[in-house]
Amino acid sequence: MAEIISYDVAKSNVYKMLEIFIKFLKQETSRAYRNDILDYLNSLDTFNLTNTIEYFQTLVEKGYAKTTIERKKAALSRFFQFLLEQSFIEVNPFTTQTFKLAMKKITQDSSETMHNLSHKSPAHHLKWEEIERLISVCKDDPNILIGKRDLVIMLLGVYEGLRRSEISELKWSDIREDINGMSLYIRKAKGGAAVIELHNRVRETLEEFKNLLQERDIKTEYIVISFSNNSYLRKLSNKSINEIVKKRAKQAKVKNYEEISAHDLRHSCAVQLLLHGAGVEKVSRHLRHKNIQTTMGYLKTLELHENSAVKLLP
């Protein structure tokens, strides 16, 4: 697939063109346009039509509303039209028939996703003994490589609170070390790039998994990869991650396992942090919630499971 912006054009120049473009906009729209365009530019390493379509598909998977997706598309289309008129690019990809057909399908998916979200069963949080059983079934897998990969998925969800899309996109280069210890750089987080502390249990498991790959001379950019024949060493899709979580929940005899998804690992992370004494603000920062009210919702989950007030009395 041909690149939209060729590599002989420095990325810094694209950002400079963005600042020029923003000056032509009304003040009330310039900030939203700038944020939407920056999100796109920062999310992609290569600007081609395939990656652009996948970018919008990822927005659907992250639960963005149809109106938000349409707004982002409009902002990018105007910016690329500006680049075209300035002879910075040769074609505006957002006006091509291929892109229009893809977006028609994507917006349909977005509507279906929002419909499903409005009718889905409430999120589950796992008890700590259920989490330990999940961990055990991964460790006991006779295929040590698959077992260790699945263990990485479980721990990234339960300890780090990662969304399934963030788990899918995680690269080995995203593991960083600083004066505070090891951390994860989340490049494609819902609210923008973020850095979170890496728990020792997760760090050790990642190191073990990396050693297993090296012993087998397996080199891969992404951490959570497929070992099936038809997608060997490619990063796992969001759907595949959900299927793995559901499969392991069934093996671990987790209650209502058929309803368990990767999001429930993140939900469990929030609830367990609160149960272990973490403040709401700390949990909010760890989960990268834009609004602390989202985190407060997990307190309601605790109330549902501890709804007898009389038990609080001595």
Confidence of residue 213 (pLDDT cuts 50, 70, 90): very high
- pTM confidence score: 0.61
Q: Check if CATH label 3.30.1600.10 holds for domain 128-308.
A: no
**Can you tell me the distance from the alpha carbon of 221 to that of 242, in angstroms, rounded to the nearest whole number?**
21
Q: What is the dihedral of CA 91, 97, 99, 100, to 10 degrees?
A: 130
Q: Using CA atoms, how far apart are residues 64 and 55, in angstroms rounded to an integer?
A: 12
DSSP-derived secondary structure letter, 123: P
Domain 11-119 has CATH 1.10.150: yes
- Which pair of tokens denotes residue 282? 């700390």
Instruction: Write out the two tokens for 39.
Output: 């999100």
Range 96-112 burial, b when 16+ CB lie within 10 A, else e: eeebeebbeebbebbee
CA atoms lying within 13 Å on the CB side of residue 60: 23
For every residue of 24-44, DSSP letters joined together read: TS-HHHHHHHHHHHHHHHHH-
User: What is the 3 state secondary structure string of 89-108?
Assistant: CCCCHHHCHHHHHHHHHHHH
Under 8 Å between Cβ of 212 and 144: yes
Sequence ranges of the chain with CATH classification 1.10.150: 11-119
List beta partners, residue 183. 176, 197
Strands ordered across the beta sheet of 181-186:
175-178, 181-186, 194-197
- Is-contact 262 124, C-beta < 8 A? no
How many whole angstroms separate alpha carbon 294 and alpha carbon 74? 28
* Digit-coded pLDDT (tens) for 223-251: 999 999 989 999 999 999 999 999 999 99
* Region of poorest pLDDT, from 119-128, 141-150, 187-196: 119-128
Residue 273 CB: number of other CB atoms within 10 A? 20
| Alpha carbons 162 and 154: distance in angstroms, whole number | 10
Confidence grade of residue 269 (pLDDT, cut at 50, 70, 90):
very high
pLDDT band (50, 70, 90) for residue 190: low
- Write down the pLDDT at residue 8: 45
The 3-state DSSP class for residue 65 equals coil
Q: What per-residue confidence (pLDDT) applies to 179? A: 79
Q: What is the mean pLDDT of the chain?
A: 84
* CA pair distance 245, 249, nearest whole angstrom: 6
Q: What is the DSSP string of 213-239?
A: HHHTT---SBSSB--SGGGTTSBPPHH
Q: What is the pLDDT of residue 304?
A: 46
Could you tell me if residue 72 is left (phi over 0), alpha (psi between -120 and 50 degrees) or otherwise beta? Answer: alpha
Q: Please name the residues in contact with 185: beta carbons below 8 A apart, sequence gap of 6 or more.
A: 174, 175, 176, 193, 194, 195
Residue of 56, 165, 39, 41 whose CA lies nearest to 104: 56
Q: Which pair of structure tokens corresponds to residue 132?
A: 């330990």
State pLDDT tens for residues 94-115: 888 888 888 888 777 655 544 4
